[in-house]
Amino acid sequence: MMDDLRELYQEVILDHGKHPRNFRHPDDSNREAKGENPMCGDRFMVYLTLKDGVVEDVAFQGRGCAISTASASMMTELVRGRTAEEAEKLFHVFHELCTKDDPEPHGDIDDETMEKLMVMSGVRQFPVRVKCATLAWHAMDAALHGEATASSDQF
């Protein structure tokens, strides 16, 4: 059963990596932040349209490996339509899933969203890939806070 789940997760990552969603620069974005991983050259700009505390649109542009591109693509789908607080919560849960062997339970996040976040959690077995998976998420969080750059020290 675990092999089937791992295979499904790999298919999802490959699909998002080859066909990223929301890979564009929205005309009406009012927040943006750059994320860069100098170790491997991944670079993304994340664009948010934040209105009345809600992420109405989110997109990204840049270049990176399949994992960072897939993670950025999935992030855009997960945070769109959520409040800034919900988006920040998803960032923290995602980061924990990618970095901790025994992450805290998060009963306040619905099962479908949690399952989508879990797709990338296997990167914690490969510490050098954690930065790839979390890069766009750090940039999104920086944009939420009005910061122009996600520091590589953060991830």
Between 79 and 107, name the one with better pLDDT: 79
- Provide the residue type at 52 as one letter: D
Give the burial class of 104: count Cβ atoms within 10 A of its Cβ; 0-12 exposed, 13-18 middle, 19 or more buried.
Answer: exposed
What does the pLDDT look like over 13-57, one tens digit per residue? 889 999 999 999 999 999 999 999 888 899 999 999 999 999 999
Listed by start position, the domains of the chain span 2-150
Give the burial class of 146: count Cβ atoms within 10 A of its Cβ; 0-12 exposed, 13-18 middle, 19 or more buried.
Answer: exposed
- Which CATH code fits 2-150? 3.90.1010.10
What does the pLDDT look like over 84-141, one tens digit per residue? 999 999 999 999 999 988 877 777 899 999 989 888 888 888 888 899 999 999 999 9
- Pairwise CA distance, residues 69 & 62, whole Å: 9
User: What pLDDT score does 153 carry?
Assistant: 54
**CA 77 and chain centroid, separation:** 9
